[in-house]
Each structure stands twice: as structure tokens, then as C-alpha cells.
Structure 1
Amino acid sequence: MPTVSRTFSVSPMPHQVIDYLKDFGNAVEWDPGTQRCTRTDSGPIGEGATWHNVSKILGVTAELTYTLESLGSGNLVFVGKNKSSTSTEKIYVDAANTGSVITYRNELEMHGPIALFNPVLKLYFEKLANDTEKQLTSVLNRLPIEEKK
């Protein structure tokens, strides 16, 4: 199972980061692989909210249904599923002197014959994690800075 993790700092406070990231539709702005991400339910965003995500991975279009499995004041867990894979994205947000420290972890479980490609996928996801860190840092640092709550 390919797993990647990155830890980095951003300027916004943790509550701002969580408020922004809990809407997985924003993944089109910060996830380089995401092409479209549309909410499939309605109402306030909370645990159980769902999105249809279309990503391009190694030139292949992948469509997953993502669910916000866990929403806390300092963490989020999204689980995306289709018949060939399960992607678990865990995001931890801690307060820092000048904003937030984020740990982003993606665990990808492949199902069926595609699991044979896990070593190649691991290399690809390491590069994608680097790109995601850069893009996510840039997007979050564009949020207006609020004072600590």
C-alpha cells in the first residue's frame, strides 16, 4: 500500500485551515491530480459529506467518491473509494507561533490486479506529495490571516 506523508508550515491559524480544507471541493485548487471535485450531497459540511472526485493519475482518469469520515478542530479524514482503490487522506493541523503546522498523509490501497503496480505507484505518489505540499502551502498562505482565537 503506497503511503506518503508531508509536514509543513503555513501562515493561517488552524481553524482557518480546517474551515478551508473541510470542503473537499477545494481540492481542485490544492491537489495537482484533481481535475474536478463536486459535492454530491447538500447541507452544512460535516462528517458524512460526500464529493465526486475526478483525478488524472499517470495519464489515467480515476473517479472516486470521497466521504468526510472525521472532522475535528485539528484534523480531517477523507476516504475516497472506487472499485479498484481506496484513498485515505488524513490531515492534522496544529497551532504554531506564526500559524499552523500541517501533516498531510495519503494512504492508497489498490484492489485487484492493479495492486501489482504498488512499487511504481509509490514513486509516483512521492512526487505527487511534493507537488501537493507546494500547491497546498501556496493556496493556504493566500487565505486572509486572522488572529489566534
Structure 2
Amino acid sequence: MSPRRLLSLPATAAVLLAAAGCSATDAPASVTVPTPPPEEQALCRALHEALPGSVAGLDRRDPEPRSELTAGWGDAAIVLRCGVPRPAGMSDPQGQGVDVNGVNWLVEQRDDDGPRLTTTYRRTYVEVTLSKQYAHDLGPLTDLAGPVAKTVPPLFSETP
């Protein structure tokens, strides 16, 4: 092998390694995994199995660390956490809510990102955070409301 080729191999390897390390989309987003009681964990496992492969046209890409209590779509554009604590905003009489296909959500606007939405009146709290692109678009909830309604029962039964 010529000396010129030997000198170019380390340079080529360095360029390839740098390019591989620069791709921000290769690493899944990182989130804090909730720690609900066992009965809520069972509801979250059922929800995890019922969640769709795509939401708002984005493919499922679960965050790290992998857990049956979390899910994601796109590059952290939509992140779901199941079994989260009751948000303080639920005690706010000025709190905003929205009903999407029979599932009620508390809407909290975040200063630096899109909204955070948390189910209300369900046996466990399900939180969905949306990126800035969804600041005024709650459309992703239409894809998530069905699985939530199917697997996380209402807090209060309507039957006598």
C-alpha cells in the first residue's frame, strides 16, 4: 500500500465518524418514565399495546428509555406518558380543557414548546406533549383518543 493511501485512510475514517455522529435523528428522544401504582401500570400496558403506529402522519418512534409507559411519534414531535401524577393545573379554576372523541384533556400551554395535554376523569392520567408545530393544532389527539377511551376507563361509571 502506498504511503499516500495510508495517510488518506485515517482522514476518511475521521470524516465518516464525524458524519455519523452529527445525525440528530439517529438517537430517540429521552423522557422521564412515570412510576404509577401497579393497577395503573396495567392500564398503561393495555394502552401501549393499543396505540397506533402513526399519529398525525408521523411514524412511531418510542423515546428512551424504552418503557410500556411511554410512546412517541416523529422525532419527539408527539410524546405520550401514561401514569403521570395529577397536574397542578387541574386545580386551576381558569384551566382550559378540550373534549376529543369522548376523552377530556386539560390543555396547558408551555412557554418554550407546544402544548401539554393530560386526560381528565380517567383511572390514570395520560399526558401528551406536542412540539411547537402543534401550538394551535390538537389534531394528534384524534388518533390517540380512541386507544385511551378503549383501555383507560373513566374514573366515574355512568351506570347506577
Structure of larger gyration radius = 2
TM-score greater than 0.5 by the shorter chain: no
Identify the structure with bigger relative contact order (alpha carbons < 8 Å, sequence gap 6+): 1
Looking at secondary structure, tell me which structure has more strand per residue: 1
Q: TM-score normalized by structure 2?
A: 0.31
Q: TM-score normalized by structure 1?
A: 0.32
